[in-house]
Structures are given as structure tokens and as C-alpha cells.
Amino acid sequence: MKDGAPTKVCIVYPADPAGVIPGGIDTFIRGILRWVPPDIELSLVGVTTEPNERPVGQWTTCDLGRARFRFFPVVALNNPAGRSKIPLSVRFTLGLVRRRPRIDADVLEFHRLEPSLVYLWDGRPQTAIVHQNMQNLANKQSDILWSHFPGFFFWLEDRLIPRFSSVYAVREDAVAWYQERYPVIADRFSFLPTWFDPEVYFPAAASAENNVRLALRREFGFPDDFTIAITVGRLDSQKDPMLVAESFRQLVRLHDDIGLVFVGDGTLREEVESYVREAGLADRVQFAGLRPAEQVAKMLRAADLFVLGSAYEGMPMCVLEALGSGLPVVTTDVGEVKKVVRHGYNGLVVGDRSPAAISGAMHDVITGLDRYRGEPCTSAASDYVPGMVLAPVYENYRVLAGRKNASG
């Protein structure tokens, strides 16, 4: 790398930053691409949801508003929210083998271990960001493929992790776990918080608040004065949308002027929709499907309460986005949510993952909305913005690229 030349980094992960794909990791990667400093040049090897616009096996240029980057998809996805018989991580890794994109980069970054197998003998520095605490392999509601083969996963991890020059984890307990497991390279592990984009997620201006609220209610056929609870995320076993639906069924016994909106899609959508119909809640519960971030942000600004029923998490990006929008949160006690959801201040953290406990917490927040929403929410999320969180990642790129070029 010559003086003045940009640091070049390629992210290798099955994401389509220009498409609408559910999941926090995809949003995380979009943020890294969007907020990149001018001295760093990023590219992405991923998947495409629009093969006519972003064809498989070709480098194209994409624009996320703040930054442009080169993109090479190795697999086309027909149903981004669905789950095929062959896991996406496997399809993506096989796509890498088949397409073998020529990557012009100083550093490679991985957000899953499997794709790094293709680059075992690549001499460039490699870094990883671990989004799942792999202790969750033992969770009964884990839909991770490796939960069926934990022994083989850890065998593989033992051989791949030491190859990375640096490893970030989005949970502090995961960092401690890795440092204990790999003491010889303990200094390579760092904590990287989740973040949200304050240019997209922010409270409604006072002058526009009424119109924003009415727009959401009229889109889904709710009365104008309805209180609206909202949940955002994949409709799969980890997020446990059935628990949210069951909790809402109990909540309507206490409130006859409340509605619920599911934003997202996934393998459990039909099951949850069927439950809602059988419970007689079809006029109270609406399914918005997949929406672009800007639309999700508008819906959060128009709602009254965010609810999360997840079985496990790191730091859920959707919780930060809700808080950043001024929305109080009711959540199960998962991952690092207690760092931002301050019990009794900007929401409630429920230790008992039961419909009775969650509906009770939702009732308590609804009856005290004015106390919970607004500034207590936005102030809790204020430290989780890209400029603060991602700065160490970008600096790490520069350091690793310097090592690569110093070694020739």
C-alpha cells in the first residue's frame, strides 16, 4: 500500500446490502459499509436478491447514500426470509468455491466461520466479528445448524479462530468466554457493541407526531385512538413470535383499544397467522412483512410500545432502534438488553418467558406510557451510534493493512 492509497477491506458474508433481508447481521454490515471513512475502500462478497440488477458472478458498484462499494454475489436468493433444506451458510460457502471471486483487498473480514474455510491458504490478514454466543448451541430454541453438531463445530472453531488476527464479539461475556478458551491469543479478542443509525431511527417531531401516528393506524385498519405495540425481526424460533402473539392474546383481556404489528417474515409466519385467526385476533394483529429500514423507522415512530420475545440474543439491534425512536421496550431477559432497557425507566425486562409475565409487563408500560417514552429511551441509546462504535473497527483495518504491506 503506497502512501495516500486507501486501505482496502473485503467483507465476506451472505448479505445483500441493497436488498431487504431480515436480520441484524445484514443491517450491521450495511452500517459498516455506510459509515466507512474516506481513507478506507470496502467491498463485499455476498448474495443477491435481485439477480437482474446485481447478477451472480459479477462485480457491480452499489451506493448506500454515504458510500459506494464494490459487490460480488456468489448465490441468488429467491426467498430471503425462508429457510431452504441446504442452510444459507453452506450454499454461500459452496458458491465461494464455485465462483472464486478475485478480491482486491488488503484485509478479509468474516461474520461467520464457514466461509473462511475457502481462504485458509490466503496470506492476507483476516478479522472476524462473532454475532452469536456459540454457547447458545445448547439452547432448545436455537435454529443454528451447528446446534445438531456442537462437537464438530467446536473442533472446527479450534482450528479456525487462531488464524484470525483479531476477533470481535458483540457480547462481553462472549469475549470472556473466548479469552478463557484461547488464553494464548486472548489479546486478539475485543468487545464490539451493537449500534443503530440515528439518521434513520429518531423520534417524530412534535409538529408531525399526530400525522405519523394516524398513518400507521390507517395503513393497518386500526381505529385512530388505538395503542399500538410493535415487534420487528425474523419470525423464527429464536425471536419466538408465538410467545409475543400469546402474550398479546392475554393483554387484550385488559385493553380493548390495542393492536399489534409484526414487522418481518420467516419460517413461523404461517403458524403465527393461523394462531391469530383461531384466537379471534385477526382485526387486532397485522403482519407487515419485510420493510426497508426507512419504513420500519416510520412505523416505530408511530407506535407506542416495542416488544421482544427472543429466546436468546446478543445486543438486539431492534431494541436500540426502538429506543432511538423514543419507544419504550418490553423484552425478555436476553443477552445485553439490561444495559439499555432500564427496568422501570424506559421499559421492562421480563425474566419469566411466559405469556402471563410479558402481557403483564406490557400492561404496566401502557398504563404509564408518558413516564416511559421519549427522553428516557433516546438517552439510553445515545452511546450506541456508528461514529462511536465502529471507529475501533476501521482503525483495526488500518493496522492490519499496515502489517500486511510491511510484510510484503
CATH number for position 51: 3.40.50.2000
Say if residue 159 is in the same domain as residue 73. yes
Residue 302 lies in a domain: yes
Give the residue from 336, 340, 350, 271 showing the smallest Cα distance to 307: 350
Band (404; pLDDT cuts 50, 70, 90): low
204 within a domain of the structure (yes/no): no
Residues 67, 170 within the same domain? yes
Q: What is the pLDDT confidence band of residue 283, given thresholds at 50, 70 and 90? A: very high
CB 42 within 8 A of CB 67: yes
Q: Do 251 and 302 reside in the same domain of the chain?
A: yes
396 and 280 belong to one structural domain: no
Q: Is 364 among the domain residues? A: yes
For residue 141, name the pLDDT band (cuts at 50, 70, 90): low
CA distance 84 to 25: 19
pLDDT exceeds cutoff 90 at 333:
yes
Are residues 259 and 362 both part of a single domain? Answer: yes
Buried b (16+ CB within 10 A) or exposed e, 340-369: bbbeeebbbbbeebebebbbbbbbebbeee
Domain limits at 107? Answer: 7-195+385-406
301 and 326 inside one domain:
yes
pLDDT digits (tens, 9 = 90+) for 147-156: 666 677 788 8
Residue 408 has pLDDT above 80, yes or no: no
**pLDDT at res. 87:** 80
Q: Are residues 314 and 181 part of one domain?
A: no
| CA–CA gap between residue 121 and residue 338 (Å, rounded) | 41
Cα 342 from Cα 340, distance rounded (Å): 6
* 57 found inside a domain: yes
Check residue 86 and give its pLDDT: 76
As for how many domains the chain has, the answer is 2
Nearest to 70 by CA among 86, 95, 50, 46: 46
Residue 75 lies in a domain: yes
Domain-located, residue 76: yes
Q: Is 268 among the domain residues?
A: yes
Q: How far apart are CA 388 and CA 57, in angstroms?
A: 35
Question: Could you tell me the pTM of the whole model?
Answer: 0.86
Do 274 and 329 fall within a single domain? yes
375 and 398 housed in the same domain = no
* Pair 28, 88 in one domain: yes
Residue 73 has pLDDT above 90, yes or no: yes
CA dist 372 and 385 (Å) reads 21
Angle in degrees, CA 96, 97, 103, rounded to 5: 55
Are residues 222 and 365 located together in one domain of the fold?
yes
Segment 115-143 mean pLDDT: 79
Q: How many CB atoms lie within 10 A of CB 63?
A: 10
Mean pLDDT (the chain) is 90
Q: Left (φ > 0), alpha (ψ -120 to 50) or beta: where does 43 sit?
A: beta
353 and 232 together in one domain: yes
- 3-state class of 151 per DSSP? helix
Q: What is the mean pLDDT of residues 4-14?
A: 93
In a domain, 203, yes or no: no
Cβ contact 285:260 at 8 Å: yes
